[in-house]
């Protein structure tokens, strides 16, 4: 029979990808990417929209032509009447009086603003009142950022409480760390590429946190299921059981991410790209980038970090040593694997008692330890029959 492909093995949870075992590699890559992002924050900064940097918003009716034609004409006017300013962003917006083009530029003085409006009206054959010009203060962006940070703090506090109650504090720490890394990497992409940061971008940042948390909880739920009673099983370490959970839930996480990215991609490429809805571009872009990064961090960072924290637990650490000791004893021939004939029956040398005690048996996960049942009146029936009545008297 031909060997199954990777896709079919992923669906069955049998891909056997060693994700947790390579956690040092993932941590190193994440640390390097985080350093690059922080360096970009310090050197390049962010391309802030006029809501954050302040500026002037110009509006003209969409009847003047295409968006590109209107942008070129406004740029020509700004070079002569606007002190060399240029259009930073242009988008088509709807309103009660019909569609219009909104073009944002650096802040103009009141005199420059009136001269630009007059020149634009003459260029397009419009009335002076048909051309709009609004000053946007940078304080508006500051208020949006302040409320977004407050919402982020409340969100993280509620999420931490939920994860501690639903799982444990180590899983909460791993999940929150993954969320922070998701924010840093997404913001780093924005800084490096030069995507404009608007209030819609801030809202998108808060939205991707919910998606990233959902992905992490799905994986952690499977990890908890696989590791329940793990210390009673001397065949698997905690890291191996967690890695198995990752393989079993990997395809589900991938499908969830793809299904979530498809409508967001439609919002970004069709709504913003083809239809020219600029307000959708700011929201769709951060969602698309953030969701893609969230899938990677939930798989490559959250669970490996959880295993690193769990291995600090004395119980899990002792269990890890027992599993390794048992495997070492089996490899040296000092201990027969489960189901193999005993050494005396197979004509081999007796197993070293100390190694056998250290390695231990290999009961199933959650199985009760095997204990000899005591004999006697309460532990079982005497061999003479008759239950617990002396002399085996017959019942009446």
pLDDT tens profile 51-106 = 777 788 888 988 888 888 888 888 888 888 877 788 877 777 776 567 788 888 88
Q: Indicate if the pLDDT at residue 31 is higher than 90.
A: yes
Report helix, strand or coil for 106: coil
**Against a cut of 0.75, is the pTM above it?**
no
Residue 343 has pLDDT above 50, yes or no: no
At 278 the pLDDT is 56
User: What's the confidence (pLDDT) of residue 15?
Assistant: 67
- Take residue 87 and report the two structure tokens written for it: 């259009």
* Number of other residues whose CB lies within 10 A of the CB of residue 331: 9
User: Is there a contact between 220 and 306 (Cβ–Cβ < 8 Å)?
Assistant: yes
> What is the C-alpha to C-alpha distance for residues 305 and 297, in angstroms, rounded to an integer?
11
pLDDT above 50 (res 1): no
Asked if residues 131 and 120 have their Cβ atoms less than 8 Å apart, the reply is yes
More confident residue, 308 or 262: 308
Kindly state the average pLDDT of the residues 325-351: 61
Give the tens place of pLDDT for each residue, 230-284. 888 888 899 999 998 888 888 888 888 888 888 888 777 776 556 555 556 777 7
Whether the predicted pLDDT of 314 surpasses 60: yes
- DSSP calls for 267-302: IIIIIIIIS--HHHHHHHHHHHHHHHHHHHHIIIII
> Residues 36-47: what's their mean pLDDT?
90
Pick the more confident residue, 292 or 369: 292
Contact 238, 307 (CB under 8 A): yes
**Is residue 217's pLDDT more than 80?**
yes
pLDDT, tens only, 94-153: 765 677 888 888 878 888 888 889 889 888 888 888 888 888 776 767 787 788 888 888
Distance of CA 191 to the CA centre of its chain: 20
């Amino acid at each position: 029979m031909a060997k199954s492909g990777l896709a079919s093995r992923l669906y069955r949870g049998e891909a056997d990808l060693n994700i947790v075992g390579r956690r040092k590699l993932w941590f190193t890559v994440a640390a390097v990417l985080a350093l690059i992002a922080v360096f970009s924050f310090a050197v390049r900064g962010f391309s802030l929209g006029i809501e954050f940097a302040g500026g002037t918003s110009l509006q003209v009716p969409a009847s003047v032509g295409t968006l590109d034609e209107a942008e070129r004409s406004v740029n020509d006017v700004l070079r002569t009447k606007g002190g060399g300013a240029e259009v930073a962003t242009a988008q088509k917006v709807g309103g009660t009086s019909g569609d219009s083009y909104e073009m944002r530029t650096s802040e103009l003085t009141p005199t420059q603003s009136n001269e630009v409006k007059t020149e634009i009206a003459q260029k397009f054959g419009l009335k002076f009142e048909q051309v709009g010009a609004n000053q946007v203060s940078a304080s508006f962006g500051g208020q949006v950022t302040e409320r977004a940070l407050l919402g982020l703090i409340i969100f993280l506090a509620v999420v931490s409480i939920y994860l501690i109650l639903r799982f444990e504090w180590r899983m909460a720490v791993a999940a929150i760390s993954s969320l922070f890394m998701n924010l840093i990497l997404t913001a780093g992409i924005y800084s490096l590429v030069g995507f404009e940061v608007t209030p819609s971008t801030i809202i998108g940042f808060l939205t991707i946190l919910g998606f990233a948390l959902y992905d992490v909880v799905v994986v952690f739920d499977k990890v908890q299921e696989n590791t329940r009673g793990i210390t009673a099983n001397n065949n698997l370490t905690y890291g191996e059981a967690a890695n198995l959970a990752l393989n079993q839930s990997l395809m589900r996480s991938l499908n969830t991410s793809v299904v979530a990215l498809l409508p967001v991609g439609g919002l970004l490429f069709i709504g913003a790209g083809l239809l020219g809805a600029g307000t959708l571009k700011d929201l769709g872009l951060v969602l698309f980038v953030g969701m893609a990064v969230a899938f990677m961090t939930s798989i490559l960072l959250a669970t490996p970090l959880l295993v690193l924290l769990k291995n600090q637990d004395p119980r899990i650490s002792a269990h890890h040593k027992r599993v390794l000791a048992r495997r070492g004893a089996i490899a040296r021939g000092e201990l027969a694997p489960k189901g193999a004939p005993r050494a005396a029956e197979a004509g081999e040398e007796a197993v070293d008692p100390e190694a056998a005690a250290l390695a231990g048996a290999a009961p199933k996960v959650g199985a009760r330890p095997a204990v000899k049942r005591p004999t006697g009146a309460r532990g079982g029936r005497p061999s003479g029959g008759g239950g617990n009545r002396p002399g085996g008297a017959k019942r009446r």
